[in-house]
Amino acid sequence: MRLAWDRVEDDSSPRHGHREVNSITGGYTPPANKYDTYAGVTGEQKVVTEGVSLTGEYRVNDMLTLKSISAYRTGDTHTVIDFDQTPMPTLDVPAIYSDRQFTQEFQALLTGARWSGVAGVFYLDGKSSGAFDTIAGNLGLAIAAAGSVDTKSFSIFGDFSYDLTDRLHLSLGGRYTRDDKDGSVLRLFYLGATPTPYTGGANRPVFATRTNYTASKTFEKFTPRVSVSYDFSEAVTGYASISQGFKSGGWDMRGDAALVPQTVNGYQPETVTTYELGLKGSAFDRRMNFASAIFYSDYKDQQITTQQVATPPAVGIASVVDNAGASTIYGFELEGSAHLTNDISANFSLGYLKNEFDKFVTLVTGSPVDISDQRKPQNSPEWSAYYGMTWRGDILGGEIRVTPSLSYRSDYHLFDIPDPILDQKGYVLADASVVWTAPGKRWEVGLFGRNLTDVRYKVGGYSFPGATYNNAISAFYGPPTTYSARLTYRF
């Protein structure tokens, strides 16, 4: 039996972004330092997450082991987001989020002379809820959005491998999932650019009800997997696999039924079928280990979130979640390690990714329009790579490890609409670490340096251009050069 508990309390300040363009009003220009901001929204900033789990395992005999995993987790967040990154209440968002979930899984692990496998059931009972305001100062409005989803999910699964010969192995698996969901969505307009009653603001009458509905749906799917592997030698194995997965449907908790009427219908499940060929093993008398794969994934009914800003005379801003897309993703991955000398080893990886929309249908205009030729998948660099070397030596009776490394990501888009202001060019990060382990391996001291060349690179952003939201285009940057130390004691 293993009992584990964890709790995190985060009271750090809000992380605001860097304004990338001049404001239309207020005279705000982009700060010279990428980590500076003009954001002025205030309010509570606190995150508390807590969880407990109990794992039990019982070996019945050499063939059968039974396993149980029980877990309960909660999360509560109060936050403030300043989308326009100015002291003015042009686009400020105070928000409250809460979630609870209980999960129970039972597994039977089985082993035979030429076969092995696992079978089991999984159950989840969870609730996610939240409320947030969109304080739109230029419109004189505060938009309250609140919603919750109760989910009860049940799955039964199995995956078994059989040795057809000493070298040839077959694996078959499948999972049946049923999700029962109950959702409610509420979206209200209040006059006045101050917080609404939903986030602790003053009570006042509702100016307009934009969305108010409850709904229930059941989503179910069987997803299979088949894999064949062949041992070319004791050191090298090749494999081929086909698998399918799905993500169940639901409702857009930020949907505006007045702006996008079809939001009350929710969205349907997303499915993906993936084909993979791989080769893994070791070479050069096992001085090098490697794993490589080429893959092809076909997404159908892809769930895509876009932002819709109303054009006059309509007012408002809302997200749209719909089964708008289909895409093809393919590429290859290679990773491994090598012992160059008795004291020096290397770790490396190389990845190529081609991610393309085959279909991107928008319904905001009232009729379906495919705009896939105008959209690019987010956060999908075509190339990525890593190379690190570690020198090991003896100092003060213990072991020291010195590791410099380089990592690379090629160009990528932060949003599916290409934007020269927010698109990120390729970059290289240089890191280094020095770790000393004392005799007996109980004590360990580590020194770490990240982004040693102080590269500026975007990891997120917001884009609400135009006068209504004061040209709110901002970016969040990855950490600059940072140094840290770590002391570890094992007992």
Band (361; pLDDT cuts 50, 70, 90): confident
Averaged pLDDT, 139-159: 96
SS3 199: helix
The CA-atom distances, in angstroms, between 442 and each of 26, 397, 486 are: 58, 13, 14
Cβ atoms of 307 and 294 within 8 Å: the answer is: no
Averaged pLDDT, 23-30: 95
Strands 168-191 and 236-247: unpaired
Averaged pLDDT, 114-131: 97
Res 317 pLDDT > 90? no
SS3 82: strand
Q: What is the pLDDT of residue 42?
A: 84
Q: What is the pLDDT of residue 308?
A: 65
Res 252 pLDDT > 60? yes
Q: What is the pLDDT of residue 366?
A: 58
Res 275 pLDDT > 70? yes
Question: Taken in order 133, 135, 139, 141, is the CA torsion positive or negative?
Answer: positive
Most confident of 88-97, 170-179, 374-383: 170-179
Q: What is the pLDDT of residue 362?
A: 77
Band (380; pLDDT cuts 50, 70, 90): very high
DSSP string of 311-358?
-TTS--EEEEEEEEEEEEEEEEEEEEEEE-SSSEEEEEEEEEEEEEEE
Residues counted in the chain: 491
- The full set of domains in the chain, from first to last, is 112-375 (2.40.170.20), 380-491 (no CATH)
Averaged pLDDT, 317-338: 90
Where residue 286 falls (left for φ over 0; alpha for ψ -120 to 50; beta otherwise) is left
